[in-house]
């Protein structure tokens, strides 16, 4: 075991504070990563504040990680010292069930191991990326192409794959009309990716205040959902709607925007249940689905796609001592569009 500097949560209400966490020794199939950048995801806040269940404090969160391989185990073949790599929301799975063998480890039938607040192979609680170093199985470390600016790579490991996966799985591309609900950390990535895939992209946001950004990211159209006329004008329009917001929405109203065989796929996760009228689904043979990140192979595909098309998130770099302020700004929707922690500032914490 080794100790590394980290920012940790001691309770659901206390500010994050500097401390140390333990990392396991590097096993035969493991890689040790010196973390360079760690993205801040709304999921980090939900988890620490207990919105999604009990939390074993103290806990270090962060599942958007970019760093450099510092050491490899004796049996590692995928990576070498000095490689740029990323770690997302998973650090292990059974790799034996039908879903893992199909390359969708995020749907592991035995449950994948979360990067933080999960149960590691030695029975300890996993600790995340708001830290100096992490040890993971080589299978769950992704190659970060040189074409992706390193300081912008970390959010791709959650925000990027979370939106890329439904776009790919529901066939976004030329001739398809795609709407993105919300233009935040997830939504702005969905717009960039859908545009690069060749779809006709529409942003559905509460107001028009981010219209210029949306069009700059590749949206063809931008509409305010606070205007009731929006739902009348756009009825029966879209082949796919990707809902990125983590607050409840009027699902029936959005379902009515779908064309024949259209689908709404939610990647935002409000803590409250949502209601849907089944008769709304019957019209136009509509579907409502959810999507959870992506498998390791698809995540690598996403990174390579972003490198090929020059896609990266819009980020604001923060120091470790600014994390609590950044969290408050996330809750206030005061970020365009993703915070990234400079992990080098953790050393003096």
- Secondary structure in 3-state letters for 117-135: CCECCCCCECCCCCECEEE
- On whether the CB atoms of residues 192 and 167 are closer than 8 A, the answer is no
Neighbours of 308 (CB within 10 A): 11
CA distances in angstroms from 79 to 112, 161, 179, listed in the order given: 22, 21, 38
> Residue 106: what pLDDT?
98
Q: Using one digit for the tens of pLDDT, what is the confidence trace for 149-203?
A: 999 999 999 999 999 999 999 999 999 999 999 999 999 999 999 999 999 999 9
Handedness of CA 202, 206, 212, 217 (dihedral sign): negative
Q: What is the length of the chain?
A: 349
Confidence of residue 246 (pLDDT cuts 50, 70, 90): confident
Q: Using one digit for the tens of pLDDT, what is the confidence trace for 38-74?
A: 999 999 999 999 988 899 999 999 999 999 999 999 9
Question: 203: closest CA among 337, 32, 47?
Answer: 337
160-290 CATH choice from 3.40.50.300, 3.20.130.10, 3.30.70.20, 3.40.50.720: 3.40.50.720
DSSP string, 219-244: -SEEEETTSHHHHHHTTT-EEEEEE-
pLDDT at 348 over 90: no
Boundaries of every domain in the chain: 2-158+314-345, 160-290
Say how many CA atoms lie within 13 Å of 25 toward its Cβ. 4
φ and ψ of 47, to 5 deg: -65, -50
pLDDT at 248 over 80: yes
> Residue 28: what pLDDT?
98
> Residue 122: what pLDDT?
86
Task: Provide the angle, in degrees to the nearest 10, between the axes of the packed helices 296-309 and 185-197.
Answer: 70
Joined tokens for residue 311: 């896609």
Instruction: Compute the radius of gyration of the chain from its Cα atoms.
Output: 20
In this structure, of 186-190, 234-238, 243-247, the range with the lowest mean pLDDT score is: 243-247
Q: What angle do CA 125, 128, 132 make, to 5 degrees?
A: 120
Average pLDDT, the chain: 96
Helix (H, G, I), strand (E, B) or coil at 263: strand
- Beta strands at 200-205 and 177-181: parallel, antiparallel or unpaired: parallel
- On whether the CB atoms of residues 342 and 37 are closer than 8 A, the answer is yes
Alpha-carbon span 338 to 258, nearest angstrom = 29
Alpha-carbon span 162 to 184, nearest angstrom = 13
Instruction: Give mean pLDDT, residues 112-123.
Output: 94
CATH 3.90.180.10 assigned to 2-158+314-345: yes
- Which residue stretches of 138-245 are H helix? 150-153, 159-169, 185-197, 211-217, 228-233
Confidence of residue 135 (pLDDT cuts 50, 70, 90): very high
Alpha-carbon span 287 to 44, nearest angstrom = 29
Instruction: Give mean pLDDT, residues 258-276.
Output: 92
In this structure, of 120-129, 203-212, 267-276, the range with the lowest mean pLDDT score is: 267-276
Joined tokens for residue 65: 């990680």
Joined tokens for residue 226: 């606070």
Joined tokens for residue 129: 């990326």
> Residue 349: what pLDDT?
43
Alpha-carbon span 321 to 340, nearest angstrom = 13
Q: Which helix (H) or strand (E) holds 8?
A: strand 2-8
């Amino acid at each position: 075991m080794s100790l590394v500097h980290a920012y940790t949560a001691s309770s659901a209400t206390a500010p994050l504070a500097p401390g140390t966490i333990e990392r396991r020794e590097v096993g035969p199939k493991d890689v040790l990563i010196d973390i360079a950048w760690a993205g801040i995801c709304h999921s980090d806040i939900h988890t620490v504040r207990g919105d999604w269940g009990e939390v074993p404090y103290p806990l270090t969160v962060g599942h958007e990680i970019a760093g450099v391989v510092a050491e490899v185990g004796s049996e590692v073949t995928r990576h070498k010292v000095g490689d740029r790599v990323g770690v997302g929301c998973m650090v292990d799975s059974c790799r034996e069930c039908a879903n893992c063998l199909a390359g969708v480890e995020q749907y592991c039938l035995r449950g994948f191991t979360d990067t933080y607040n999960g149960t590691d192979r030695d029975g300890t609680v996993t600790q995340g990326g708001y830290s100096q170093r992490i040890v993971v199985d080589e299978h769950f470390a992704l190659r970060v192409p040189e074409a992706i600016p390193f300081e912008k790579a970390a959010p791709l490991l959650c925000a990027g794959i979370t939106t890329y996966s439904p776009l790919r799985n529901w066939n976004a591309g030329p001739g398809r009309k795609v709407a993105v609900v919300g233009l935040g950390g997830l939504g702005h990535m969905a717009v960039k990716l859908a545009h690069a895939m060749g779809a006709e992209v529409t942003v559905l946001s509460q107001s028009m205040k981010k219209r210029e950004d949306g069009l700059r990211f590749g949206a063809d159209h931008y509409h305010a959902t606070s205007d009731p006329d929006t739902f009348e004008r756009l009825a029966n329009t879209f082949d796919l709607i990707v809902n990125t917001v983590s607050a409840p929405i009027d699902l029936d109203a959005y379902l009515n925007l779908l064309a024949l065989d259209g689908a709404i796929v939610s990647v935002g996760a409000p803590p409250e249940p949502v209601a849907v009228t089944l008769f709304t689904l019957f019209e136009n043979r509509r579907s409502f689905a959810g999507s959870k990140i992506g498998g390791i192979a698809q995540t690598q595909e996403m990174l390579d796609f972003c490198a090929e098309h020059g896609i990266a998130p819009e980020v604001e770099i923060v120091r470790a001592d600014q994390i609590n302020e950044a969290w408050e700004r996330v809750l206030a929707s005061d970020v365009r569009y993703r915070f990234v922690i400079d992990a080098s500032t953790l050393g003096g914490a």
